[in-house]
Structure 1
Amino acid sequence: MASDFSAMLGRVIRTGQLQVVDATGGVVAFGDGAGRPLRIRLADDTVGGEIAADPALKFGEAYMDGRLVVEEGDIFEMLSLLRRNGIRRAATPGLKAKSLLRLLAYQFSARVPVNRNRRNVAHHYDLDARLFDLFLDHDWQYSCAYFQPRGISLEEAQTAKKRHITAKLLLQPGQRVLEVGSGWGGLGMYMAESSGVDVTGITLSEEQLAVSRARVTERGLSDRVRFELTDYVDLKGEFDRIVSVGMFEHVGLANYGKFFKTMARVLNKEGVFVLHYIGRVKPARAINPWIEKYIFPGGYLPALSEVLPSIERAGFLVKDIEMLPMHYAWTLRAWRERFVARWDEAAKLYDERFCRMWEFYLAAMEAAFRHDRLPIIQLQLARHQDAVPYARDYIGEAEARLKAFEAACPPLEPVRF
């Protein structure tokens, strides 16, 4: 085993128990022996050194390539062990310098005036639709569910998420609603059916657009719900309500001013805007290099302190802020368990390397939500002081009405493709 890899693990792992088997069969143990035993194997003589030289990128690549194999436990438990022990202790002066260079490169790229939105979205969301069918709920909600009460199923929690967001929008029949980042259409259809509104959804994913339009036609909602392949920067018209779920992470650190000014321009004076996104507790200035390279190019998870100045400059009033700190960890756990249970089907769509990449992504994100205090943030914004009631009682009252609608409404059919 490379001495630098062994030294890195020795700096990090103080509690728990990990065995590392090198390519010759030698075994080195780390930790204090407490908790569930984990065991990994390095498949060749060089992979340990590569990981030690760039753990933020190479650990995930080694797992994808089958050069780092988890023989006892799973990859989530391995990542969780590292985070529980304080992964930052792995940093050497060389690694700190590498991180600084990456941060500078990311900041420069984020400020270059080139619109990469469509390319970045296609990288992730234009994957084979059958992949998402393996692990999402029947409505293909690909954002954090709302586990209220705790212990409900993923399907129930995703419905609760749609209900909670719809309640905050204060919808009235006949209103025009804009959904920025419309996914596979489930929220738009829910709002139209539950509240009698007219919905326009925009997306940059051609795969999502095709599925959404087919679902709307099948549901008989074409007169009230439409989806367009449009970037938010090209929006025209005026809307009574705006909602955006799971899209803001892709806007980019340098574009927050443009985003909120655009939303303010197309929202009427008495309108309400609900924004749901993954945040963090303090600025990071960059994204993990493995996530940037393989999963979400151009993405960034902002702290409130990075978002609120642009909101204020755009003329919005912050009417409500809600932090959901563990709901995405529970969502990701459900997705990962479902994906692993249907691994063979995913491998037929792509290959084993892709499956390991996707598992690593879901596991790494869950570990981050559990150990790095990442929250889901829901912001309710308005341009007029009286656009939203002065107390939050209306949210629960609206949710009760929406539950009654759900009980009487025919359930949405599973996504077909």
Structure 2
Amino acid sequence: MQRWSILGALLIASRHAVAYDIFRDYSGSTFFDGWDFYGSFDNLTWGNVTWVTKEVGASQNLAYVNSENHVILKVDNVTNVTVGELRSSVRITTQDAYDLGSLWIIDLNHIPYGCSVWPAFWSFGPHWPEDGEIDIIEGINVNPSNQMAIHATQGCYHNGNTDQLGSTGSTDCSQGSGCTVGELSPNSYNSGFAQAGGGVFATQFDVSGIFMWFWSRADIPSSISQATSTSSIDISSWGTSHATFSSNMCNISQFFTPQNLVLDIDLCGVWAGVPSIYDSQCANEGPTGLCYNDSVVGPGSPRYDNAYFDINYVRTYTTSTNAPVATSTNAPPSGGSTLSMSANLAQSTGTSGGVARMHDLMASLTLALCVFAGTLLLTWSI
């Protein structure tokens, strides 16, 4: 254990010397060429959305490039949703899977927020949970700050006293919420993000660890702000990461395989829609205190006018020895990902037992929903 800790420390100390070559620039008119649309209902987090296809996303103005060459991904804020229906939204996944030795940067002007809204920029391996998950941007409802996390099978942990700028939450990465770190820098989520001019999130996926940074627009390092879509990048000036998941507590090469990147906007579900959480933040949204009833059902505007990503670019970088792997991503990861996101329900059951436990949880939720729906129908008939 001591020898591994020393090795981990050496790897961390040397990681900033790594320079990265641009591999993919997802931006402008060709942005969507490198992504697959999920095109199904949300069977991952029990959210109240239907993920649209690329064609529907374009026709309904839910996924498009605007006149400023920004990429827009949004929730349907036009439709008047009736009880029993779902609201349309977007989930896209990169066709490339990125191995250790990768760097990912996303530059945004706006992050979705609002009651019931659950946006995320995250990654997963092909066989969840064995291949890991990394949550870079994740917020719910009207939370003021972003939460970062990693998820892995049993044996991966986070050092609560590690060298990072964020605030450590849970430290066992195999549990439902994963290993979490709260962002302490201002304007990382909610309306403050856009009011500060947006910002940049960066993730280093390395054998020495997984490291994440966030900068508001005014604080973006020159190595990023002066970079082009074809230039390499040097991270040596970035300073202390905001979330540090180091290999001395989690052997990254053991718990994580090549990762596909995902952007999505969910509604309600097993984090944003948990009654105690939703009601504490959105009690004034409607009479029932229930996320679906009070937010999803009814008119889309003004409720979802701020439920959109405005993206300048996503850029991926690699070292010369780590070429990404092309994959087909129309199917979800086994057991579903964004299970980061089963934070508040799966926490009590744990997810270290893998897919079977999640299926049991889903079965229980299905039964509960059926009983709830039956009760409502009976009440309405009376």
The TM-score, its normalising length taken from structure 1, stands at 0.27
Give the structure with the larger helix fraction.
1
Structure (1 or 2) with the larger CA radius of gyration: 1
Give the structure with the larger strand fraction.
2
The TM-score, its normalising length taken from structure 2, stands at 0.28
